[in-house]
Amino acid sequence: MAASELYPVLPGDKDSPDPETALNEARMDLGFTPPKKQSRNILEKTFYRKRKTKPKVNRSYLIKRSLEKCRDYLPDSCECTTQCLKNFFCRIFPFIKIMQGYSLLYDFPSDLVAGLTVGIMHIPQGMAYALLTQLPPVYGLYTSFYPVLTYFLFGTSRHVSVGTFAVISLMVGAVVDKGHVAYQKLELLHVEAMAANLTSDHPMLNTTFLDGKNHLEKLEEIKVSYAMSVTFAVGALQMILGFLRLGFVTTFLSDPLISGFTTGAAVHVFSSQIKSAFGIAVGRYSGPLKLVYAYRDFFSNLHNANFVTMTATIVAICALIAIKEGINNNKSIKSKLKIPIPIELLVIVGGTVISFYLHLNKEFNVEIVGEVPRGLPPLNVEQLRFVPDLIGESFAICFTAFAISFAMAKILADKHNYEVDANQELLAYGISNMIGSMFSSFCCSGSLSRSMVQDNVGGKTQVTSLVSSLLVIIVLVSLGPVFETLPNCILAAIIIVSLKGLFLQFKELRRLWKVSKVDFCVWIVVFLSTVLLDVDLGLLVGLIFNLIPVLLRTQTPYTSLLGNVEGTDVYADISLHKQAKEIPGIKIFRFESALYYGNIQHFRKRLIKDTGLDPKALKQLKQAKAEADMAKQHKEICMATKTAWNDEPCNHSDTDQQPDTEDEREVDPYAIVLDGSTIQYIDSVTVRVLKEIVQEFAAVDVEVFLGECKAAVRGMLDKSGFYKYVPRRQVCATIHHAVRIAQRSHVLTPDQEFHALRKKAVSVDTIGSDYVMAPESSFVNLELLTSNNSSEDDSDDRRKDISVR
């Protein structure tokens, strides 16, 4: 094939390139390098691959072209500049940006005082909340040190106090309980096997847990491993959510849900401390109704309560309440105090001293903290061996811890006018939990009480956390053994008093009942499910129940018919606004929700019910009317024929349908306008059903218009091929525009036209800011319409005088 055949020269085209030149340019564009000395035929065969050998490809040329295209398409933001690196590190380590404007003269004194105050609170709360996790109190001090330092580097909140929190500690303790139960079952199996002399035949007994260690040491090792494993799993999950930018998922945890859940968890926290407060042995239970069984054991053993333990608990609770409510939370006295009185620390010191000198453990059998190791724990990865088994349990702790912490951070950020990044907060808590779990720290979160104290005392930044961590490490390194004689009932008293804020959330019920019955029900259901079932199951039930109203509201939203407010282009609900009147022949339907596969059938049903127009019924009515017209026409022909043959007048029977009076006639609906202003998005199923609806109504001479659709809806209609079946003119910019098009496109029959003119006496319909003609601008001879003395014979002539322009 010649090159001239490939590139024909058009007649009169003087600027057309030579065929050979065009062929060579095409080869070069494709990256081919033809041999220098080749005939014309060989070149053609090479280009069209008729030869067996492959043509040579200039790979360097192709690579160069590809790099040039990549350079053109890559945005300027991808360039690695100094400013880009700076922004990246400031985003990963927010403390850099915070410390850039830090003032040692104005900010540090406030942070120092706040840090000492919060650090003093960390010590008793950390030791007390560690009991909720079924771990020794020293693990609470570890949690008050490592995660706090890590959050200082990665957190965006300047006022949240990270560390131990009662609800999260309780949830970790529930996981530790499962490990305790599993260990007891395994140990029971070991004992039975030893009794039957079958130890060597059981592979489950050849584990690392059933060696020659002391029973209590092995049990504590199992508890610590379960606590650290679930903490690592929680941290890993939080980091994954942060990397995927899924911080918005916490929005599914509504305020009523969190309030009801934390109140129910407070009941569990209180119930877990009554055995230490009264010195009563209570069985360990897990799963649904565990509180019922625990209180059964408590009341059955109440006569065995330790009198000294009860006395110490009551005295500690009274001292805590007196100082907190009488001084620290008293507005008249609080303003005079620079820092609140550290009553928790004073109670711990007093209880430790009294227990040491009176030998409460030996003389009165009062439970004490016991050995507190001195120093910091080493890196230990072996205690994370249960991570794969605890991934499911980590989800509830992950979402609850972050939801509570971020809610507190958001409140304080709004108060001090700065922003907190939800995704960066997820990363911060995830890294804190993962690193902390390797150094014997259980799951951390923001503390409501410590955060409020830190803010009220005057803390400016997370430098407060550095100061509090310094105080905690001093206790760990040098003062740890001092607290060995501390009674557990003192820690229980601190926990019980700290639950006051959570129990006060019962006051929310009155407000929720007035504002929203649905939120009230969510609160009650979450609270009861948390108390009766368990903490993790209660949260799951609460999430499901909280989503039910959302699904119901989207599946069965409010629907209405709109009418025009006379003299304006405003359309309002006719059932709520008396000024809004329906436009004759046009039904305007509003569906106040997004349209998707879950509610599109409800949309169809409500459209038919509210407008009163059923396409199937209209089709049957149309067919019946056509048959009746044919029968009537046939009857008239027969009667006319009979009259012509017999020369007799045609007497119609009394059963013949008489024409309606003029006042009874109405304009039949000829258009439906769908208000798209409340439809945020649609899916492919919706597009298909909308197409069916438009076609079904078109079959009965009713046009369906879409007005004021969102950009996303219009884009979905365009991509789905909606306009192949529906004219574009039926998708309008506004409802008013759709109404005008519907009126102009409608053609009335002569009888309907004459009736409409007689009824209105004018031909204009004020449906907007201007007069809109129905269907076009027209004039009416009012004298012809109001004359009552003319005969019926002239009626046809008068109709002809009404000209429609």
For residue 314, which of 502, 126, 489 has the smallest C-alpha distance? 489
Q: Are 468 and 291 in contact (CB under 8 A)?
A: no
pTM of the model: 0.71
Predicted pLDDT of residue 108? 92
pLDDT at 554 over 50: yes
3-state secondary structure 130-142: HHHCCCCCHHHHH
Taking 3-state DSSP, the helix, strand and coil percentages for the chain, each rounded to the nearest 5, stand at: 65, 5, 30
Task: Place 22 in a pLDDT band, splitting at 50, 70 and 90.
Answer: low
What lies within 8 Å, CB to CB, of 532 at 6+ separation is 288, 289, 291, 292, 538
Say what the pLDDT of residue 179 is. 84
Span 438-459, average pLDDT: 91
- Per the prediction, the chain carries an average pLDDT of 80
Q: Does pLDDT of 187 surpass 80?
A: no
C-alpha span between 760 and 770 (Å, rounded): 18
Question: How would you label 641-653 residue by residue, b for 16+ Cβ within 10 Å and e otherwise?
Answer: eeeeeeeeeeeee
Q: Are strands 703-707 and 671-675 parallel, antiparallel or unpaired?
A: parallel
d(CA 435, CA 379): 9
Closest residue by Cα to residue 565 from 553, 546, 556, 578: 578
User: Where is average pLDDT lowest: 181-190, 371-380, 421-430, 526-535?
Assistant: 181-190
Q: Which residue has the higher pLDDT, 214 or 539?
A: 539
Q: Phi/psi of residue 196, each to 5°?
A: -90, 5
pLDDT at 596: 92
Residue 604 CA to residue 10 CA, distance in Å, equals: 59
Query: Is pLDDT of 785 > 50?
Result: no
Compute the distance between CA of residue 682 and CA of residue 115 in angstroms, rounded to an integer. 53
H or E segment to which residue 765 belongs: strand 764-765
Q: Which CATH architecture is the domain 559-627+666-801 placed in?
A: 2-Layer Sandwich (3.30)
> What tokens does 226 get?
């379960």
Question: 48-72 burial string, b = 16+ CB within 10 Å, else e?
Answer: eeeeeeeeeeeeeeeeeeeeeeeee
Average pLDDT over residues 137-160: 94
Q: What are the residue ranges spanned by the domains of the chain?
A: 3-73, 116-283+291-366+391-536, 559-627+666-801
DSSP β-bridge partners for residue 732: 707
- Answer whether residue 6 shows pLDDT above 50: no
When pLDDT is cut at 50, 70 and 90, the band that residue 115 belongs to is: very high
**338 pLDDT exceeds 80?**
no
pLDDT at 143 over 60: yes
Between the alpha carbon of residue 543 and those of residues 259, 382, 401, 485, 526, the distances in Å are 13, 34, 15, 43, 8
- Give the rounded percent of residues in the chain with a pLDDT score beyond 90: 48
E strand or H helix that includes residue 396: helix 391-416
SS3 598: coil
Percent share of the chain, pLDDT over 70: 76
Report the alpha-carbon distance of residue 601 to residue 274 in Å, rounded.
Answer: 55
Residue 479 and residue 138 in contact, taking contact as beta carbons nearer than 8 Å: no
Q: Quickly count: other Cβ atoms within 10 Å of residue 356's Cβ.
A: 15
Residue-wise pLDDT for 667-699, tens only, equals 688 999 999 999 999 999 999 999 999 999 998
Who contacts 761 (Cβ-Cβ below 8 Å, separation ≥6)?
780, 782, 785, 786
Give the model confidence (pLDDT) of 43-95 as tens digits.
Answer: 444 444 444 454 555 566 667 666 666 655 555 545 567 777 777 788 888 98
Please write the tens of the pLDDT for every residue from 353-374.
Answer: 999 999 999 999 999 988 888 8
DSSP secondary structure string, 364-390? H---B------SPPPP--GGGTTGGGG
SS3 assignment for 429-495: HHHHHHHHHHCCCCCCEEEHHHHHHHHHHCCCCCHHHHHHHHHHHHHHHHHHHHHHHCEHHHHHHHH
